[in-house]
């Protein structure tokens, strides 16, 4: 086993792995954990983003991996297997503007692979790693710090609504929410916490890119800092499914109470608009 980094007092620092931590929300979470004193590793597929992080934030350890390639993901996880960690956040995600009936094969393959298949591959690996660590050395290293091991995934508020006309993005995030809930139940006996984040619009570069450079028209859009604050609070409070902002949570909860045909009609007429 490789040693964990030590801080200036000689204590072991906690290590977080952020899959999809090279930009947007994942990178914001990485930088936030760094300011809290965590040792941070991030994973992404873009060599350019990794090069930027290596030059601007040299203390962050970077891994290049294309999560759409199961073999690459396997190799990445094998390489990470010797390095203990206390928290893993799966923030990798793929989204487009296209509605389900416009979805092309490439987007479909990518969305399914990143939002669902690689997510399951990573959570499966991470939960077994944490169990093993608990057995081997976790208690001696970190129990005194009260830092409960945690698995966190970034879904979307789109996944909290249940209707057949939902996009592949919404359906894959819905599956992520259900999977995280199953892992949460399964890991209770190990005292490993699992939190799923279902946020509304966050003003990241990826969302702006999808909206001609400006996403400010998106309803109740929030800054990445606000999103990070919500997520850290949800982890601290061990919330199973954190849905925010509150305004969006109320709207989606009200919509979920409508009879299914009405909900379908409303969303279908809304989503069919070209704007």
Task: Write out the residues near ligand NAP by the rule CB under 6 A.
Answer: 20-26, 44-46, 49, 65-68, 91-95, 114, 154, 156, 199, 201-202, 204, 206-207
Q: Whole-number minimum distance, CB 131 to ligand NAP, in Å?
A: 25
Q: Whole-number minimum distance, CB 250 to ligand NAP, in Å?
A: 17
Indicate the residue among 24 and 149 with the shorter CB distance to ligand NAP: 24
For residue 240 the two structure tokens come to 């199973």
Task: State how far the Cα of 22 lies from the Cα of 167, in Å rounded to an integer.
Answer: 26
Indicate the residue among 6 and 124 with the shorter CB distance to ligand NAP: 124
The neighbour count for residue 10, using CB atoms within 10 Å, is 6
Handedness of CA 272, 273, 274, 275 (dihedral sign): negative
Q: Whole-number minimum distance, CB 188 to ligand NAP, in Å?
A: 25
Q: Whole-number minimum distance, CB 213 to ligand NAP, in Å?
A: 14
In what side-by-side order are the strands of the sheet with 150-154?
Answer: 61-64, 39-44, 15-19, 87-90, 150-154, 193-199, 241-244
Indicate the residue among 29 and 263 with the shorter CB distance to ligand NAP: 29
Indicate the residue among 142 and 203 with the shorter CB distance to ligand NAP: 203
Q: What angle do CA 250, 251, 254 make, to 5 degrees?
A: 85
């Amino acid at each position: 086993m490789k040693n964990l980094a030590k801080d200036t007092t000689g204590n072991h620092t906690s290590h977080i792995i952020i899959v999809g931590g090279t930009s947007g929300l994942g990178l914001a979470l990485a930088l936030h954990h760094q300011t809290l004193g965590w040792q941070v590793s991030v994973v992404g597929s873009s060599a350019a983003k990794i090069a930027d992080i290596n030059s601007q934030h040299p203390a962050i350890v970077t891994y290049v991996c294309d999560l759409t390639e199961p073999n690459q993901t396997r190799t990445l996880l094998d390489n990470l297997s010797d390095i203990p960690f206390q928290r893993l956040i799966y923030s990798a995600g793929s989204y487009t503007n296209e509605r389900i009936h416009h979805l092309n094969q490439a987007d479909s393959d990518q969305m399914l692979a990143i939002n669902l298949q690689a997510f399951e591959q990573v959570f499966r690996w991470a939960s077994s790693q944490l169990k093993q660590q608990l057995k081997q050395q976790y208690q001696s290293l970190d129990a005194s710090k009260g830092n409960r091991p945690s698995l966190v995934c970034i879904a979307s508020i789109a996944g909290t609504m249940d209707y057949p006309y939902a996009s592949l993005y919404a359906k894959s995030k819905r599956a992520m929410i259900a999977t995280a809930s199953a892992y949460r139940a399964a890991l209770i006996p190990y005292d490993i916490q699992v939190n799923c984040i279902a946020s509304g619009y966050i003003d990241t570069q990826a969302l702006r890119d999808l909206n001609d450079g400006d996403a400010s028209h998106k309803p109740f859009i929030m800054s990445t800092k606000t999103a990070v604050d919500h997520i850290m609070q949800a982890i601290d409070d061990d919330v199973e499914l954190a849905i925010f902002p509150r305004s969006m949570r109320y709207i989606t909860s009200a919509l979920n109470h409508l009879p299914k045909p009405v909900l379908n009609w409303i969303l279908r007429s809304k989503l069919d608009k070209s704007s």
